[in-house]
Amino acid sequence: MTGYSDAAVFTLENRCKNTIWPGIQPGAGKPQLMGGGLQLAPGESVNITSPKGWSGRFWGRRWCSFDDLGKGTCLTGDCGGALKCAGAGGAPPATLAEFTLDSPFDFYDVSLVDGYNMPVSITPHGGSGSSSNSCKAVRCVSDLNRGCPDGLQVRTKSGRVVACMSACMAFNQPEYCCTGEYGSPQTCKPTNYSRAFKDACPTSYSYAYDDPTSTFTCHGANYLIRFC
């Protein structure tokens, strides 16, 4: 993906001990990047140039197996059994790196609203901004799978915790999902579950209305998205 003017470059880097398969979902009406998915070996990185005004999300998929046609499955973050997600999102729980570029600044965050499956960080390079939340690195590098509260754990048949659900996903209650009478910042407050996420990753979105400490802006930056 080259040739875009005034475009941001996303660098995806795998710092995990195992191969991962990053997924990419564009926002409505925005173009696909890399067909929506790729494979990254440990220590490998890739540069992806985005068009001006792009929005979307990145996440990591783990323990995947794909055939020569790109069909298969992932244990976490699966996007419908395809290597190239082609517009599909990742099945929660999955740690998300979210971006809205040139609006008029770039907005970015690491979100645990859909749960957690691996450490993710975003580091801007070469950008500028004037607010206290400008161009800061956002990191969720704690292993939340190890500290995942009871009731939220996603386990393999052998009992290994491979992901941590959000309370909304686990219990589907309005107070956790910020729906119904809890559908506003005034009524939907942090819970013990979202606080566990927030304590582990203070700059990440821990629930739907966690905006003030979780949304960051920058202008004219490129972004390193690091897994693990």
pLDDT digits (tens, 9 = 90+) for 28-83: 999 999 999 999 999 999 999 999 999 999 999 999 999 999 999 999 999 999 99
CATH of domain 9-144+202-227: 2.60.110.10
Report the sign of the C-alpha dihedral through residues 59, 64, 68, 70, in that order: negative
**pLDDT of 170 over the 60 cut:** yes
Domain boundaries, the chain: 9-144+202-227, 153-200
Of 15-29, 68-82, 194-208, give the lowest mean pLDDT range. Answer: 194-208
